[in-house]
Amino acid sequence: MMGTEEKPTPTPVETVAPVNNNVHNSVQQTASTAHVATESYTNSNMGYNSEVAYTHKGPEVYQEQVQVKQAAFQPLSEVAVNNVPKNIDLILDVPLEVSVELGRTKKNIRDILALSAGSLIELNKLAEEPVDIYINGKKIAYGEVVVIDENFGVKITGIVSGEERIRTLSK
């Protein structure tokens, strides 16, 4: 036909090269891919042939051989628990906060605002129950309330177990 041109339809041709897996000098090639694509287009109207070659290599990853050795540790020796270090004198004068808790309760804001002189607050412990003794905010013992001269005091009746003290450290 005159006046109209037909556009050529390209036909791609693809060729893929094989994968190379060589190992050299204790270095292992873990991934190697090579793709070679050749495309050929023919334009029949102009008699023009064109071949274009594209080469694309994927990422290559190498990993050196690693030697793993067994770790050697010195055997642990048992340390006597009752041995007090000689440098304990360095901390004997460090002040600690000691507090005694008679009991606890929860109140809402209305009840707190209604408090006045002479109001009573009921606690969650009975009068005969032991009180909790805290050192720097951690419970370490319990005891009973006594009166010494004109002051209150606490007679220690038990020490909290080491396991329980360790559990309360995380709180």
β-strand partners of 52? 39
Residue 90: per-residue pLDDT: 85
3-state secondary structure of 166: helix
Identify the residue with better confidence: 41 or 87. 87
Domain extent listing, the chain = 23-63, 96-169
Measured CA to CA, the distance from residue 165 to residue 132 in angstroms comes to: 13
Residue 71: per-residue pLDDT: 85
Residue 33: per-residue pLDDT: 41
| Percent over 70 (pLDDT), the chain | 62
Quick check: 98 pLDDT over 70?
A: yes
| Percent over 90 (pLDDT), the chain | 36
Helices (H), the chain: 109-113, 162-169
**Structure pTM?**
0.45
Residue 22: per-residue pLDDT: 43
Measured CA to CA, the distance from residue 50 to residue 93 in angstroms comes to: 94
Measured CA to CA, the distance from residue 51 to residue 39 in angstroms comes to: 6
Residue 43: per-residue pLDDT: 46
3-state secondary structure of 27: strand
Tokens 């893929």 identify what position? 16
pLDDT tens per residue across span 109-149: 999 999 999 999 999 998 889 999 999 989 999 999 999 99
Measured CA to CA, the distance from residue 17 to residue 22 in angstroms comes to: 15
Q: What would the mean pLDDT of 36-59 be, rounded to a whole number?
A: 55
Measured CA to CA, the distance from residue 149 to residue 31 in angstroms comes to: 86
Q: Supply φ then ψ for residue 24, to 5 degrees.
A: -130, 135
Residue 6: per-residue pLDDT: 60
Query: In this structure, which topology does domain 96-169 adopt according to CATH?
Result: Surface presentation of antigens (SPOA) (2.30.330)
pLDDT tens per residue across span 55-91: 667 777 778 888 888 888 888 777 665 665 578 888 8
Tokens 């109209």 identify what position? 4
